[in-house]
Amino acid sequence: MYAFTYLYGKRTLTILALFGSLAAPGALRGQTGLGLAPMREELKLAPGATHSGILTLANTADEKVRIVGEILDFYLDSTATPQFGPEYKQEAEFSCRHWLVANPMETELNGKAQVPVRYTLRVPAEATARSYHCAIGFTTQPTADHAKAIGLRTAVQIVAAIYVVVGQPALEGAVKDLKLEYVPDSVHPVWRAVVTIRNDGWLYFRPQGDLDVLDENEVVVETVHFTPLPVLPRRDQNFLFPLKLAAEGKYILRARVDLGANEIQEATARVVAAKPAP
């Protein structure tokens, strides 16, 4: 068991954006006009192995759309917001971007149409035992007819995340820190809990569990659940929990987390919810 004691810390509010490609498989639909399934592939491969698969890319809008694909790196920043880009140097030793090819990488889809996207991932024979990650992203572009029109159009990107485990790396991780942060709000004081998970190993994992908020009498006043986002190898990852605390005062934060090894880790921290003086 871990125990930490902290007072509040003042932070600016960051909007938390969660991508389905990281949190849960399935198709992302709605106002985007694009659908993609699956949005997450998790593979276990040996050095030198080849894997082929199919993604289904769909235009859920009524009008034709042009779509361009790209092979991407990704990571989660300190607010657990996924960041996708053509290359991130800090991810080089964990990236499978250079192993991955897909076809087609550019297409036009009529309204309510879909197309299979075939991809192949080739693991180098010299790949070391660890987990790797990369992604295939698809972005809307103006069609030839739209390019002639005057006006603004919104580009939409949808992403499929790919995780590859090579060999049998050990799962190594722990709850590193618990704290309470004050979030400035124009009307009411707002607090959020921050649970920091440390990944000491070479294998990604997705924590599952709950965060309880207890009052001074150790009565649970609020419970929030972990979103199953990945903790990528060899780093610390913050998980943010907006809270509904109605009153200032002393509280206890208690995290109970399974990192994936069928073992519950528990950490507690005594905190104070108090609005900082102007």
Residue 97, SS3?
Answer: helix
Residue 28, SS3?
Answer: coil
Q: Which residue has the higher pLDDT, 16 or 185?
A: 185
* Confidence label for 19 from pLDDT (cuts 50, 70 and 90): very low
The pLDDT tens digits for 22-73 are 765 544 443 458 999 999 999 999 999 999 999 999 999 999 999 999 999 9
Q: Which residue has the higher pLDDT, 80 or 12?
A: 80
Mean pLDDT of 79-86: 96
Mean pLDDT computed over every residue of the chain? 88
Mean pLDDT of 86-98: 98
Q: Is the pLDDT of residue 129 over 50?
A: yes
CB atoms within 10 A of CB 204: 25
What is residue 1's predicted lDDT score, i.e. its pLDDT? 34
Largest Cα–Cα separation, the chain:
67
What is the helix, strand, coil percentage profile of the chain, to 5? 5, 55, 40
What is residue 6's predicted lDDT score, i.e. its pLDDT? 30
* Confidence label for 94 from pLDDT (cuts 50, 70 and 90): very high
What is residue 247's predicted lDDT score, i.e. its pLDDT? 87
Mean pLDDT of 157-183: 96
CA distances to 160, 163, 169, 196, 230 from 131, rounded to whole Å, are 17, 7, 8, 21, 12
Give the residues across from 116 on adjacent strands. Answer: 56
Lowest-confidence range among 60-64, 108-112, 182-186? 182-186
CATH 2.60.40.10 is held by the domain 20-166: yes
Structure-block tokens of residue 20: 């389905």
Q: Is the pLDDT of residue 11 over 80?
A: no
What is residue 144's predicted lDDT score, i.e. its pLDDT? 67
* Confidence label for 14 from pLDDT (cuts 50, 70 and 90): very low
Mean pLDDT of 101-116: 97
What is residue 39's predicted lDDT score, i.e. its pLDDT? 97
CA distances to 57, 78, 202 from 257, rounded to whole Å, are 35, 19, 19
Same fold, 2-16+170-273 and 20-166: yes
CA distances to 138, 189, 197, 246 from 276, rounded to whole Å, are 44, 10, 27, 16
What is residue 9's predicted lDDT score, i.e. its pLDDT? 30
Alpha-carbon span 37 to 125, nearest angstrom: 29
Mean pLDDT of 77-90: 96
φ, ψ (nearest 5 deg) of residue 233? -65, 150
Single-letter code of the amino acid located at 133: H
Q: What is the CATH number of domain 2-16+170-273?
A: 2.60.40.1220
What is residue 246's predicted lDDT score, i.e. its pLDDT? 83
* Confidence label for 146 from pLDDT (cuts 50, 70 and 90): low
Q: Is the pLDDT of residue 186 over 90?
A: no
Identify whether the C-beta of residue 133 lies closer than 8 Å to the C-beta of residue 95: yes
What is residue 15's predicted lDDT score, i.e. its pLDDT? 24
Alpha-carbon span 152 to 137, nearest angstrom: 22
* Domain edges within the chain: 2-16+170-273, 20-166
Q: Is the pLDDT of residue 127 over 70?
A: yes
What is residue 157's predicted lDDT score, i.e. its pLDDT? 93
The pLDDT tens digits for 215-263 are 999 999 999 999 999 999 999 999 999 999 988 999 999 999 999 999 9
